[in-house]
Amino acid sequence: MSTTPQSMQAAILHGPSHVTLETVPVPPLGETDVLVQIEAATTCGTDLKVFLQGRHARMITPPSVFGHEFSGTIAQVGTRVRQFHEGMRVVGNNSAPCYRCYYCRRNLPNLCDDLLFINGAYAEYIVVPERVVQTNLLVLPDALPCAVACLTEPLACVLHCLDLAKMHPGDTVVVNGDGPSGLMLAAMAAWRGARVILCGRAPQRLGLAKQFGVDAVINYAEVLDQVAAVRALTEGHRGVDVAIEAVGRPEVWETTVAMVRKGGQAIFYGGCQGDTQVRFDTHALHYDQLTLQGVFHNTPYHVRLALDVLASKHLDGAALITNTLPLARLCEAFALMRTRQALKVAILPGSQHA
Ligand SMILES: [Zn+2]
Ligand SMILES: [Zn+2]
């Protein structure tokens, strides 16, 4: 067994847009934990929010490590770990349910009362705690690059969302939002046999959506009335069977509902700011018998499914990774995200060139 590294480079969040690269001790490894040397960590909208706000209300208080989409090689396992060993390439989900609470017993593990989250992907090493080791640490197929494997977590959220969609092959689905999640939602809805419309505002991303099997794209910047533009793509302007919001803005939640046909469903995938409200027309909800569906996070089942989808290339994960940067340039990655120049940036902590 190789010796445990004592210290590592890690990006430490100190406050709004304030991150420094520091040498910190490698966290202690418990006897049921696994130490992963991170090969790649991808940026995500949530990380950008955390970076800009300098904290996360539920899980990150500065100074702190952060980042949650990671993949790498096992550097060491705790003395009581049997199913993993040093040298295995793995991807970890950023959370694990308890499988004891009311919601876990109701088969709603994403709503677990005691969901354990891990952070610290923007570092050379991460300690994966027992519960994640037991439920949500998966071995990678040899051919799958670590950077692509990092998409397992967000893709698991996407697949979980689509399982809540009352959607049949041939149905029309609109996805509002051309971020990585919107593109994955659109691609996976198309893969499941829906006719998909994607609404966004970046021509390059709308082009990528077409590569992903999306039938029609609408550029917000080019239409006066987005709702009318979407309805015009349905028979008799009746509206779509399922409309998904993947932006996280109250006004888009509202337009998403307005795109749905009678008896159809609106799904809210994008999380809005904490203190926001939305307004819906009660008559439309009542007489048109609409279903409004919130959705949060993923489940261990969907984590496995996501890795399978990436490994079998049903989704071209590599196409979503537009940039690759060493850990020392993490702030640049967030600048690229904020200006929407990047979809996902793969941060490579092992890469030394700064
Ligand atoms: Zn994420
Ligand atoms: Zn639970």
Q: How confident is the model at residue 58 (pLDDT cuts 50, 70, 90)?
A: confident
Question: Minimum-distance ligand to the CA of 102?
Answer: 2
What phi and psi values does residue 134 have, to the nearest 5 degrees?
Answer: -70, -35
CA gap 194, 168 in Å, rounded:
7
Crossing angle between the packed helical segments 45-53 and 330-338, to the nearest 10 degrees: 110
Homologous superfamily assigned to 7-153+298-348 = Medium-chain alcohol dehydrogenases, catalytic domain (3.90.180.10)
Q: Which ligand is nearest to the CA of 156?
A: 1
Q: Is the pLDDT of residue 176 over 80?
A: yes
Q: How remote is the CA of residue 299 from the centroid of ligand 2, in Å?
A: 11
Average pLDDT over residues 111-134: 97
| Cα 104 to ligand 2 centre (Å) | 4
| Position 350 confidence tier, pLDDT thresholds 50, 70, 90 | confident
Q: How far is the CA of 60 from the centre of ligand 2 (A)?
A: 21
Distance (Å, whole) CA 164 – CA 140 = 27
- Residue 37 is predicted with a pLDDT of 97
For residue range 195-235, what is the model confidence (pLDDT) as tens digits? Answer: 999 999 999 999 999 999 999 999 999 999 999 999 999 99
Report the chain's mean pLDDT, rounded to a whole number. 96
User: Distance from the CA of 152 to the center of ligand 2, in angstroms?
Assistant: 21
Looking at residue 352, what is its pLDDT?
63
Distance from residue 41's CA to the centre of ligand 2 (Å): 27
Average pLDDT over residues 250-278: 96
Domain boundaries, the chain: 7-153+298-348, 165-294
Angstrom distance (rounded) from CA 25 to CA 6: 6
CA of 353 to the centre of ligand 2 (A): 43
Ligand nearest to the CA of 104: 2
pLDDT recorded at residue 354: 47
Give distance in angstroms: CA of 282 to centre of ligand 2: 34
For the segment 177-194, the average pLDDT, to the nearest whole number, is 98
Percent of the chain with pLDDT over 90: 95
Reading phi first (left if > 0) and then psi (alpha if -120 to 50, else beta), residue 121 is in alpha
- Say whether pLDDT at 1 is over 60: no
Q: Do domains 7-153+298-348 and 165-294 have the same CATH topology?
A: no
Structure pTM? 0.97
What pLDDT is recorded for position 2?
59
C-alpha 236: how far from chain center:
35
**300: helix, coil or strand?**
helix
Buried-exposed string 265-279: b where 16+ CB fall within 10 A, e elsewhere: bbbbbbebeeeeeee
CATH class of 165-294: alpha beta
